[in-house]
Every structure is written in structure tokens, then in C-alpha cells.
């Protein structure tokens, strides 16, 4: 490789692999363009002094396919030895890869506290080599389509507050640190039957929304018999749904709303009442 006009040298490059020892050799040599031999000029090397990094830095890379059917926890080690001119070799640290081809397996324990109306979710699991990085939890209510609830990382338990009575089913799919994902399963790992929730009493002169948090619908109870206008506003200020309430208690379908926090505005004559709701 002719480096002129930046350098008045030829760069010779050679690489070879020793399949018996597993060693890959790279050789870079700065040659005099006239004699074809190693240059005797100490400042004519192709790699300049590393005064302003990375001008004097270089690197090589390689790809090695693994042997077939290596068992989990097989250790693959690699290190390099760099020699500049006649200097002592620079030996790098050993870089280690560990084979992990087996997906993790997880489990869920769910316990319901009637006093607090909360479900304690605890996850656990095993993995062949790298360890479990995360547990992704989805929840289903009365055999409806499961919806994402949360993902556990370092912590392995959390509180789920059921917004209404019914059968709550919990599913988990774990991922290990090697990127292997647990196989998806339509069967719940845990389920809890909740049947003691009651809608709170309506405050005088106000409105009540139940359940909150909610999943597919909310029920709005009014302390009036006259029709009123309502709007559901997103956290970005966009009106996502609006209409009229013509009964003292009316159910509103919110299944099309993305999960998030919303403001429900009830407009009656010249007064506006607002309530915050969470859509799961």
C-alpha cells in the first residue's frame, strides 16, 4: 500500500491464522519505496506517535464462528500481544465470552390483601448461565386480552392495585443477559379472584369516577339529573373523547385510549369539575 504523499513509504500488510494453536497473526511493516526493505528512518513509520489521540492508535478485528453444539457455560477466552519494533510485547487482558443458548424460566407468586385491596406480585426464575436480566409482566382481567403492566429488573416484586372485581391473571416472560427470551405461553403463571371492591360513595355536589385506574371503561356518577358535557384530555392537552352524560350514572368506553394519565372534565352550566384518571 503506497502511503504517498502523506508518507514516503510503502506499507506491507500480512495476516495468517494458525488453525492448530488458534492464533491469528497480523504484520504491518513500513518499507523503503526504493529498496523494498524495512525503512531505517525512525520517523517514517506508518503509525505516528500518539501525541494527540487517536492519531497514533490502530486496531484489528476478526470474526470466529463457534463450534456446533457447545454446551452452556463453555468459556471462550481471547487476548492480544502487540509488538512495536524491537520493544517488549504489550499483552492485553483476557477477554472472556460464555456460551448461553438456553432461555430462562420464570415464575410468579401473587397474594391478595383484602384490607389494602392490593395484589403483591413476586417473580423468580432460573437461567443456565448469564442470569435473568428482566421480567416482563402482562395482566388479564376476566380472560380479556392481556395488557402490559410492568417490567422488573433488579427488584423482583411490586404492588398491583386491581381497579375492579373479577379474576386477574398474571403472565411473565423473562429475558437473560445473553438476550435469550423465555418462550411465550398463553397460560397464566398466577391468578387472583377479587370480589370485595366497592365503589366509593359520591361526595355531595361532585362527581365520582370508578374504577380508577381503569382498563376498558369508566363509570361516571353525577350529583344531578340534568345532562352535562364531558371531555377526556390527554397529558399533552389533546381532547381524546367527548360527549354528553344524560343519566345520573353512565359508563364510557375508553378501550381505544392508550395507557397513560388523563383529565376528565365535566362541564355543567358555567362550572367545570375535573378528575384525574389512569388508563392501564
Q: What is the CATH number of the domain that holds 182?
A: 2.60.40.10
Question: Has residue 3 been placed in a domain?
Answer: no
**Measured between alpha carbons, how far is 128 from 96 in angstroms, rounded to an integer?**
17
Q: What is the DSSP pairing of strand 9-18 with strand 75-78?
A: unpaired
Q: What are phi and psi of 134, to 5 degrees?
A: -155, 155
Q: Is residue 115 part of a domain?
A: yes
Q: Which of 64, 98, 132 is the last residue of a domain?
A: 98
Question: Is 200 part of any domain?
Answer: no
In angstroms, the first-to-last Cα distance of the chain is 63
Residue 187: other Cβ atoms inside 10 A: 6
| Total-model pTM | 0.59
- How far is Cα 256 from Cα 217, in angstroms, rounded to an integer? 10
Q: What is the 3-state secondary structure (H, E, C) of 211-270?
A: CCCECCEEEEEECCCCCEEEEEEECCCCEEEEEEECCCEEEEECCCCCCEEEEEEEEECC
266, β-bridge pairs: 230, 273
Total of domains in the chain: 3
Query: What pLDDT is stored for residue 280 in this prediction?
Result: 87
Residue 71 lies in a domain: yes
| Same-domain status, 86 and 128 | no
CA 202 centroid distance within chain: 41
| Same domain (yes/no): 43, 75 | yes
Residues 186, 213 within the same domain: no
Is 178 contained in some domain? yes
Opening angle at CA 57, ends 55 and 59, nearest 5: 140
Q: How far apart are CA 33 and CA 46, in angstroms?
A: 13
Answer yes or no: is 140 within a domain. Answer: yes
The answer to whether residues 190 and 251 belong to one domain is: no
Identify the CA nearest to 25 among candidates 77, 80, 106: 80
Establish if 152 belongs to a structural domain.
yes
Question: Can you list the residues of the chain whose pLDDT is less than 50?
Answer: 201-202, 204
Do 34 and 19 reside in the same domain of the chain?
A: yes
Q: Does residue 91 sit in the same domain as residue 110?
A: no
pLDDT digits (tens, 9 = 90+) for 87-103: 899 999 999 999 999 99
Domain boundary, last residue among 98, 129, 164:
98
Residue 219 β-bridge partners: 210, 251
- For residues 57 and 109, membership in a common domain is answered with no
- 79, 121: one domain: no
Q: Is residue 131 part of a domain?
A: yes
Burial 10-47 (b: 16+ CB within 10 A, else e): beeeeeeeeeeeeeeeeeeebbeeeeeeebeeeeebbe
Q: In this predicted structure, what is the pLDDT of residue 94?
A: 96
148 and 129 together in one domain: yes
Q: Give the pLDDT confidence score for residue 224 in this predicted structure.
A: 65
Asked if 215 and 148 touch (Cβ cutoff 8 Å), the reply is no
Same domain, 259 and 230: yes
Residue 88 belongs to domain spanning: 9-98
Secondary structure letter of residue 34 according to DSSP: T
pLDDT attached to residue 150: 87
Last residue of a domain, one of 98, 119, 143: 98
* Same-domain pairing of 67 and 116: no
Domain shared by 118 and 188, yes or no: yes
**Sequence-separated (6 or more) residues with CB below 8 Å from residue 250:** 219, 220
pLDDT at position 165: 86
Give the integer Cα–Cα distance in Å for 232 and 266. 9
Q: What is the pLDDT of residues 151-209, one digit of tens each?
A: 999 989 998 888 778 899 999 999 999 999 999 888 999 999 998 876 554 454 568 88
Amino acid at each position: 500500500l503506497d502511503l504517498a504523499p502523506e508518507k514516503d513509504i510503502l506499507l506491507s500488510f500480512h495476516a495468517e491464522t494458525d488453525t492448530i494453536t488458534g492464533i491469528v497473526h497480523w504484520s504491518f511493516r513500513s518499507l523503503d519505496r526504493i529498496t523494498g526493505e524495512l525503512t531505517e528512518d525512525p520517523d517514517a513509520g506508518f503509525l505516528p506517535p500518539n501525541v494527540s489521540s487517536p492519531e497514533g492508535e490502530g486496531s484489528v478485528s476478526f470474526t470466529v464462528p463457534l463450534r456446533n453444539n457447545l454446551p452452556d457455560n463453555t468459556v471462550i477466552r481471547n487476548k492480544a500481544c502487540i509488538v512495536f519494533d524491537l520493544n517488549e510485547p504489550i499483552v492485553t487482558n483476557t477477554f472472556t465470552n460464555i456460551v448461553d443458548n438456553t432461555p430462562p424460566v420464570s415464575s410468579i407468586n401473587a397474594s391478595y390483601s383484602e384490607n389494602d385491596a392490593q395484589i403483591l406480585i413476586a417473580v423468580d426464575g432460573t437461567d443456565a448461565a448469564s442470569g435473568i436480566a428482566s421480567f416482563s409482566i402482562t395482566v388479564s382481567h376476566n380472560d380479556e386480552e392481556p395488557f402490559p403492566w410492568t417490567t422488573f429488573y433488579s427488584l423482583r416484586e411490586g404492588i398491583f392495585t386491581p381497579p375492579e372485581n373479577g379474576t386477574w391473571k398474571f403472565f411473565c416472560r423473562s429475558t437473560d443477559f445473553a438476550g435469550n427470551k423465555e418462550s411465550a405461553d398463553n397460560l397464566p403463571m398466577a391468578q387472583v379472584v377479587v370480589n370485595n371492591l366497592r365503589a366509593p360513595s359520591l361526595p355531595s355536589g361532585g362527581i365520582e369516577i370508578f374504577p380508577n385506574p381503569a382498563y376498558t371503561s369508566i363509570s361516571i356518577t353525577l350529583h344531578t339529573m340534568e345532562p352535562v358535557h364531558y371531555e377526556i384530555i390527554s397529558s399533552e392537552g389533546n381532547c381524546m373523547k367527548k360527549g354528553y352524560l344524560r343519566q345520573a350514572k353512565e359508563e364510557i368506553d375508553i378501550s381505544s385510549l392508550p395507557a397513560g394519565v388523563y383529565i376528565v372534565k365535566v362541564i355543567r352550566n358555567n362550572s367545570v369539575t375535573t378528575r384525574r384518571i389512569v388508563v392501564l
